[in-house]
Amino acid sequence: MIEQKHRRFPLYGLAGMLIILAAELFLFAGNVWVGTYFTPLVWTGYIIFVDALVAARKGESPLSSRRRELVFLVPISIVTWYAFEGLNLVLKNWSYVNLPPTAAGRWLGYAWSYATISPAVFVTAELIESVVGERLRGRIPRAFGRKTETAFFFAGLSLIVIVLLFPSPWLAPLPWIGALLLFEGMNDRLGIGSFSRMFRAGDYALFVSLLISGAICGILWESWNFRALAKWNYNVPYLPGVRLFEMPVLGYLGFPPFALECYLMYRFIRYLTPCRLTADVLDRQWNVTPPGEAP
């Protein structure tokens, strides 16, 4: 468990807030460049600001003391989201509008936006954990055995195969459920970071923190996307006329499990890479240390 080391709010957190405020002002003023890159701009400011909150509460954070892990997380975040973009090629649940006219501008927007996804989810979860984590440890253990992890893996794989074989916008929930089950089962079998392992220890802090983080980030994603010039639109047939911002309301149910998937896919990709980093803070707290790394 990480000892709480409360300290002053770091000055770089003010820079993060200024980035958000400046982006909002320039968007209101009709600046086309800011409107085009509004989403990655505000998320960059958000990550910096929330990281400073984490540093103030805990005495450490990705930007203040774990920058190598944060740098490593950026390409993983991009790869993670491209996996879902690949599935969307067949489901066509969302599309992008008002993108930059040049290929270089579009790819900059893609990479920058995707690079902020997992860092935003994780730093928000870390802030939430610093508040509620202690109450969610030492609880009643839940037994998840070998049969359960096998069932998770094959159920998740089956759902993704169904999506690929019978693509339809009506199957929108399946990739999110399938990826969660597949990576949970696979990670648990490999021993590289799974929620089942944490539940067996009676530790629900990471799981709950990520669920709350996904809900918070989901609302922010959609609220900022709604006002951006370059944005995504949805084609989801479930209550399509009942929307909060651009997203049909039922779509918000996907954000909490998406946060869980970000973590599981992050752990799996770290397992595959030859790079060996100091275990990040979430791994240390939940005793999930990658193979070859010192605890």
The predicted-structure confidence for 222-238, as pLDDT tens digits, reads as follows 999 999 999 999 988 88
pTM for this entry: 0.88
In-domain check, residue 3: no
In-domain check, residue 208: yes
Identify the segments of the chain with pLDDT beneath 50: 1-4, 279-282, 284-295
Angle, helix 255-272 to helix 205-227, in steps of 10 degrees: 110
Note the pLDDT of residue 293. Answer: 40
Task: Show the domain range for 37.
Answer: 12-138+202-285
In-domain check, residue 147: no
Note the pLDDT of residue 155. Answer: 95
Q: Which pairing describes strands 231-234 and 94-97: parallel, antiparallel, or unpaired?
A: antiparallel
On the CB side of 48, how many CA atoms lie within 13 Å of its CA?
17
In-domain check, residue 168: no
In-domain check, residue 262: yes
Strand stretches in the chain, DSSP E: 94-97, 231-234, 243-244, 247-248
Burial class of residue 103, CB neighbours in 10 A (0-12, 13-18, 19+): exposed
Residue with tokens 């929307």: 243
In-domain check, residue 31: yes
> For residues 52 and 90, is the Cβ–Cβ distance under 8 A?
no
In-domain check, residue 294: no
Reference 146, options 211, 190, 206; nearest CA is 190
Q: How far apart are CA 128 and CA 76, in angstroms?
A: 22
What token pair was written down for 2? 């990480």
Residues 57, 59, 63: CA angle, nearest 5 degrees: 100
Note the pLDDT of residue 138. Answer: 78
Residues 220, 225, 228: CA angle, nearest 5 degrees: 130
Note the pLDDT of residue 146. Answer: 79
Note the pLDDT of residue 284. Answer: 45
Note the pLDDT of residue 239. Answer: 84
- State how many domains the chain has: 1
In-domain check, residue 172: no
